[in-house]
Amino acid sequence: MRATVTVMLKQGVLDPQGEAVRHALGALGFEGVSGVRQGKVIELDLADGTTEGQIREMCEKLLANTVIESYLIAIS
């Protein structure tokens, strides 16, 4: 069983890495990029029977800083 967790900064939280990427894209000639938000993707190979609740607990305790980040879980 595999779970993919996508972690992104919440709206309203400054994203200096995203801003640096936006600026670099403009410097490279890619016009029209008005905003970039950077996040992370975590892939977990899990034992069969692992519940979404357990994955959510992993996110809450370690994988995401829920004060400033949100996360999305996809199970495949």
Structure tokens at 22: 């936006």
**Beta sheet of 69-75, edge-to-edge order:** 39-45, 2-9, 69-75
| 21-46 confidence digits (pLDDT tens) | 999 999 999 999 999 999 999 999 99
> How high is the pLDDT of residue 26?
96
pTM of the model: 0.88
**Domain locations along the chain:** 2-75
Superfamily assignment of 2-75 in CATH? Answer: Phosphoribosylformylglycinamidine synthase subunit PurS (3.30.1280.10)
Residue written as token pair 């972690």: 7
User: With contact defined as beta carbons under 8 Å apart, do 76 and 10 qualify?
Assistant: no
